[in-house]
Structure 1
Amino acid sequence: MYYNLYTDVSGYWRWTLYAANNRKIANSGEGYVNKADAQSAINLVKASATAPVR
């Protein structure tokens, strides 16, 4: 799996999470003005591995 961090056509930072087979699993759902904010959002997703499924 890997994250793709990029800027959209409006200049906002976004990310997409891809599976090993290159299929999209998740995306940021919103654009971020600062690259650091988008990277922080990626870190939140990474840290949620033990979150319960309801």
Structure 2
Amino acid sequence: MTWLKPYHLGGYFLLGVVIEKVLHFLGFSHYGLMRVTLVAALVLYVLLSWWIHRLENK
């Protein structure tokens, strides 16, 4: 997985913090739902990064 650089971990952390703050602001205080949403966002981020990497290398 050479397309997944170490600096992407900072992006994951920042994305998680932003999503958690937005959900908390919107009134979602159920932490189970928030954790599921954060995991889903991180998975989508990884899939999009991988897909963009594939498109760039064609």
Q: TM-score, normalised by structure 2?
A: 0.40
Higher RCO (C-alpha 8 Å, min separation 6): 2
Higher normalized strand content (fraction of residues): 1
- Between structure 1 and structure 2, the one with the greater Rg is 2
